[in-house]
Each structure stands twice: as C-alpha cells, then as structure tokens.
Amino acid sequence: MSKKVALGMSGGVDSSLCAHLLKEQGYDVTGVFLECWRAPGCRTDQDRKDALKIALKLDIPFQVLDFKQTYHDKVVKYFFKEYQAGRTPNPDVMCNKEIKFGLFYDWAMKNNFDYVATGHYAKTQNGQLLTPKDVWKDQTYFLYLLTEKQLKHILFPLANLTKKEVRIEAKKRGIHVASKPDSVGICFIGDIDVRKFLKEGLGEKPGEVIDTQSNVIGTHNGIWFYTIGQRHGFTLKSSTSIKQSDGLMIERTNLPPFYVISKDAKKNQLVVGSNTVAYQGNFLLSELHLINQSEKLPTKLLVRIRHTGEMMPAQLRNKDKNYLIKLQKPARGIATGQSAVFYQKINDNNFQCLGGGIIY
C-alpha cells in the first residue's frame, strides 16, 4: 500500500513540483492549502487557485485548512510584542513551529498520514536535519525547532535540487507556475513593507538616539522600526555637545557613520555606535532546543545568527541557567530576540542542523 503524504501547497513552484515528484515516486498525495492571512493586497485567493489547479491536473485530493486565528494569535501577536519590547522577532521560525509543523503536522498525524511534505529547501535523514544541495536557498535555520520524532514523518522533496533545477523540472512537466516569482517577506503574509506594517500595528513613538556614553545625538520614530546593525533610518544632529570622560564638554561635528547596537525599550532610546563597537564576540542564549535529544551538543560548533548567514566557529558554555556563545571572530548584527542556530560539518557538502536558541 502506498504511503500517505499530506503536502503543504502554497501555489508556488516549489510545492507544485513537490506534488509532481511525490506522485511520480508512488506516494498517495493529498494537497493541503494552509490559509493563514487575509488582507488587502494579499495573494491568498490566487495562490489557492494555483494550488488547486495543480491538484486537479494530478488528480489528487485537495483541501483547505483555516489557520487564520491561530496564525494571528501565535505569529502576528508575537511579531508585534517582540518589536515593542525592543527585540527582533523571527516570524518564520514561529510560523514553522506553530503552523506548518504544529497545527498542520498534528492534523496530518491525526488523520493517519504517514508523512507531511513541504517545499522547504532542507534534507532529512534518519531523524536528522541536514542542509540541502542549494546552499543559497537553505532553510534549515528556520526549521531548528523540529524534533527527531517529527523529522521521521517529514519529507523535503527538493533536498537534492537547486532553485534553478526546480524551475527547469517544473517547465518540463508543464507546471503553469514554473516562472511564478518566489514569495518573499513574512511567512504567509508575503512581500509587505515591514515598516508600514509595524506603523499600522504599533504607531510611532519618537525618542532619543544616544551614543555609548549616553550623549543624546539624534532622534528616532520608534524603537521597533530599527534592527541591530542597522545604519540608516534615524536622524542625527549635524553637531552635538559631547561630554568627555574628564567631564569637559566639546562640540563635535561631522559625526562618523553609526550603527544600532542596542535598544532600551523602557527609556525608548536607540543606542548607536561606530562600526567597531557594533561587533560582538560573545552573546547569551536562552530557550535551547536540540533536535536530537539523545545527542550531546558539542562544545565546539558552527553557529548562524541569520538565515543563510555565515556558519561561524563558536564555543558553547553553560552560564547560570542559560548559555554563553563565544565566537571565534566577532560579528555584527547580533540581535536580541533572533535565533542562533547550531551546525556541525558532516562532509564538504553537508552540515547537520543540531538545534538552537534565542539570543538575548
């Protein structure tokens, strides 16, 4: 008897090719469209029609699951709450946890499916999460909260294909969305103006921009509009009076480029510093999650602080109830609220994603 697969179909080229590949491989496929967001300009209706057209062409069952309320409560509220608190959230990580491999995965298991499949660029092998062939599309960073148990019931049909190859294979099969542009932006919401989205949800709250010596050197429109490492968007005075360590006040003009290095939500202040100050060698991590609980996390590993970012050599040490990450070389843009994801090298072409945690 063929294994039953519930395939998350978005109406894009990736999941559409997955439907073809899985059927060609002999699986009993059901296409599932996850409806999570509806707003003016949203592509939900067209995406659902595109997904349905693929399902009809392949003669596979198709259904729509309405997750809009949970998505709003678990992902959108988290998004605004984190920015309001001065942190930088990761909605794609939360979306995968709560929706794709939360509600959808649970629904599939309860309905006696053997596997859940998605168009993610990632690889699973014996309950392990591995990086895919396409290093530029690698989405393992967003999947670090998966568990070994889940991975044994997950298929990533695009593991051994590059994006270019996906489009070529889609055209070979006459898939009508073969040239459809990729969805970018926030998971399920898509390509939106994040600044405008934040303004609609949180408004503006002007405050001070200060340097590392607490000198007020400019203004901002609301700390949620800025991320760690950002260089533009705030307003600096053309000249400012700065108090030196000896107590003397000097007038300083032609200020050098400044980068956001931290945010103080209580004081509504944006702290900026020079390029040198923006680099950090150590940071703390909370909410550590290991994909394979039976495996001991090595003290020396590779860490990413952003999607498809550089895998940086680092050491992991216990610190009180949390963890200290010591980078071999300092890095810029280490943002509280973002995820730090761990890897270890298997061979020249493969890395295993071990898990990760939240930077704070």
Residue where one domain finishes, among candidates 243, 273, 303: 273
Predicted local distance difference test score (pLDDT) of residue 65: 97
Contact 153, 104 (CB under 8 A): no
In a domain, 244, yes or no: yes
Q: Report residue 75: phi and psi, to 5°.
A: -110, -55
- Mean pLDDT value across the chain: 91
In a domain, 52, yes or no: yes
Q: Give the Cα separation of 263 and 276 in Å (integer).
A: 18
* Annotated catalytic residue within 18, 36, 187, 353: 187
Listed residue (180, 139, 182) closest to 158, CA to CA: 139
Range(s) of the domain holding residue 237:
204-273
187 flagged as catalytic: yes
95 flagged as catalytic: yes
Q: Give the Cα separation of 114 and 194 in Å (integer).
A: 37
My answer on whether 55 and 169 are in the same domain is yes
Q: Give the Cα separation of 309 and 305 in Å (integer).
A: 7
* Annotated catalytic residue within 18, 36, 42, 95: 95
Contacts of 32 (CB under 8 A, 6+ apart): 6, 7, 8, 9, 62, 63, 64, 65, 104, 108
My answer on whether 77 and 175 are in the same domain is yes
The residue with greater pLDDT, 69 or 321, is 69
Q: Give the Cα separation of 58 and 53 in Å (integer).
A: 9
Domain count, the chain: 2
My answer on whether 170 and 253 are in the same domain is no
CATH of the domain at 70: 3.40.50.620
Mean pLDDT on 31-48: 82
Sheet of strand 115-117: strand arrangement: 62-66, 28-35, 4-8, 115-117, 154-155
In a domain, 288, yes or no: no
Q: What is the pLDDT of residues 278-318, one digit of tens each?
A: 899 999 999 999 999 887 888 889 999 999 889 999 999 88
Question: What pTM does this model have?
Answer: 0.89
Mean pLDDT on 339-354: 93
